[in-house]
A and B are shown apart, each in its own frame.
Chain A
């Protein structure tokens, strides 16, 4: 029997990435490092107030900026050495079985709509109920199922969403005495 290995979602370091990904990542980190250094350079040193240069606000972040820049260069050079610039390296990553970018995009969109659009604008229990209802309905939707089954599923989702919203509100506000957004 082959040894079962945990899915890569849990052990993210198992599959090596194509070097080109590392090169792009290095470029982004290089820009971040340079931006940090530039911003630190513009910070005051307070020397005119007899402040010591070692307590200047930009000193420590600049230290981090230098290291981030250096490490990104190391990552970039390593990616080039591994063939990031070699033609033919732009082969797309193999699709992992069962993984879906559509599900990911839908989940991200719903989470953003809830956290940015609904929270703070509606009572929290209602925002949570709407979010949970939309989430479960969209992900469990079966277009080819009989109408009766679809209606039953919608009703179950709505009841569980409203129930969860109310339970969250009661437990957090009454039991844990926590303020809700």
Chain B
């Protein structure tokens, strides 16, 4: 215990130099700006900055990315409140109550609630990172290939089921991503799969160019197609959070923090699901349900706390299983791999100091976010009013640089374009993007563990279902698929209700 506290202390001490603090400030501010601008997402911000920071020392580079991630998720609420357009998909839920509050002339108060909720949410999630990660990492050390195979499949299925909309399309997107991950040289014989003689394709599809395409280029096209946004007002009342608002809603904050962190831990779901789930739970428990959607302080608080608690939550599976909890966490994981940090069960053994550093980074980024939330209101308002016709070409230029920078291959720019166009079309066809990106991330994990497990069991599928953890993961995965079929869902509900009625005393 004392040793852990000492490690946390030294991790914090490491980031307390003026140079690093300046880095924290600019990175968090940049994150907030990225999040606030409709069309720029946290995923794109983290992916782009990954390519720009890869010459930095690894702790500083990851610190920049954590600050961007934390800042961007918070920044999205600015445009949600003032424009009724979420800066990031995670802030979509905040428009429901944030925008009506702004229309009532309470934009400043809404931003204060967003700041306090977001700050407390990230703090809650960070506490969970500090306490849960060592426990989960210990558990993950007992996993073998069978369990890792199911974790990959479970990730795709749960992400497809819960990422919003049509679960079937989520599964299709996920397995498409898994297949795309198999393009290039395979690990056993270096056979070039689906390369058709192209050397560049034989090198495989890079995760970062794909991420930049799916979340950057697709957003540029989407933004240029959509109508222009207009701010509801350019005058803002006080943004200082009211202690009363926080104290009155402490239950909502705790509940949303727990839900947000839990959703973050589940593979691939991310902040938007966390915000919607927290909002729904808060509404169900509220005594003022009728205010929801019309400017409910509680509703806004729940959405903001949930989405911000999800940020640290999404980092937990990265550190323990090498499975990202959200799309920006996937980019963060890619950055860790680029910097020779091996996320996964061995991280706590090989580089335990990195775990303490991550916790310190989250706390510092959260504090920096609070500082900007309280002080930089007007400059952010001006930034929000930059016309998209001027902003989007610059974003596209940055995407091009971001896709090219890591490996200096023009081919990666084409990968970005391809994923941008495919991402745009698939979104129009109501396919969620998160499962596809998760598939791309988990492809290697699935392939290595499936083949290893089959070799170990000599082709027997029994261990995939009979080993305890493997069996549980298989059962949850199969149940999730069955649950996504409406007819099966109705039948299960009827069955359970019948069983309960029969079991109840007469």
Contact = CB atoms under 8 A, between A and B. Distances in A.
B499 interface: no
B312 to A, nearest CB: 24
B96 A65 contact: no
A43 B459 contact: no
B393 interface: yes
Contact of A54 (B96, B390, B430, B454): B454
Contact of B227 (A51, A65, A97): A97
A55 B92 contact: no
Contacts of A144: none
A58 B397 CA distance: 38
Given A17-B430, A74-B168, A99-B227, A181 B413 contact: yes
B213 to A, nearest CB: 10
A1 B100 contact: yes
Most buried by A among B193, B393, B428: B393
B215 to A, nearest CB: 13
Interface in A1-25: 1, 3-7, 9-13, 15-17, 21-22, 25
Contact of A104 (B171, B176, B225, B413): B225
Contacts of A57: 186, 188-189, 191, 193
Given A55-B188, A107-B392, A164-B394, A71 B225 contact: no
B226 interface: yes
Contact of A119 (B52, B55, B400): B400
B36 interface: no
Main secondary structure of the interface of B (DSSP, over half): helix
B169 A75 contact: yes
Contact of B393 (A64, A136, A172, A180): A136
A45 B436 CA distance: 28
Contacts of B224: 103-104, 106-107, 139
Given A55-B455, A179-B408, A6 B95 contact: yes
A98 B85 contact: no
B432 to A, nearest CB: 7
Interface residues of A, number: 81
Given A54-B455, A136-B390, A176-B53, A68 B225 contact: no
Interface string B219-246: 0111111111000000000000000000
Nearest to B156: A67
Residue in A36, A44, A60, A179 whose Cβ sees the most chain B Cβ within 10 Å: A60
A5 B85 CA distance: 9
B57 to A, nearest CB: 13
B175 A54 contact: no
Contacts of A3: 96, 293-294
A168 B175 contact: no
Contacts, number: 206
B178 interface: yes
Nearest to A64: B179
A55 B187 CA distance: 9
Given A55-B188, A71-B175, A75-B172, A7 B226 contact: yes
B225 A11 contact: no
Interface size for chain B: under 10, 10 to 19, 20 to 34, or 35 or more residues? 35 or more
A61 B165 CA distance: 27
B164 interface: yes
A52 B225 contact: no
Given A13-B164, A112-B417, A180-B401, 11 more contacts: A3-B294, A6-B92, A12-B165, A54-B454, A100-B225, A107-B220, A115-B400, A116-B417, A168-B401, A178-B401, A181-B401
Interface of B: 51-53, 55, 80, 84-86, 89, 92, 95-96, 99-100, 103, 164-166, 168-169, 171-172, 175-176, 178-179, 182, 186, 188-189, 191, 193-194, 217, 220-228, 293-294, 387, 389-390, 392-394, 396-398, 400-401, 404-405, 408, 410, 413-414, 416-417, 420-421, 427-430, 432, 446-447, 450-451, 454-455, 459
Closest 8 CB pairs of A and B: A13-B165, A98-B227, A3-B293, A54-B454, A135-B393, A107-B224, A139-B389, A104-B225
Interface of A: 1, 3-7, 9-13, 15-17, 21-22, 25, 29, 32, 36, 39, 43-44, 46, 51-55, 57-61, 63-65, 67-68, 71-72, 74-75, 78, 97-101, 103-104, 106-108, 110-112, 114-116, 119-120, 124, 128, 131-132, 135-136, 139-140, 160, 164-165, 168, 172, 176-181
9 contacts: A29-B176, A54-B451, A98-B226, A98-B227, A104-B221, A104-B224, A106-B224, A111-B220, A176-B55
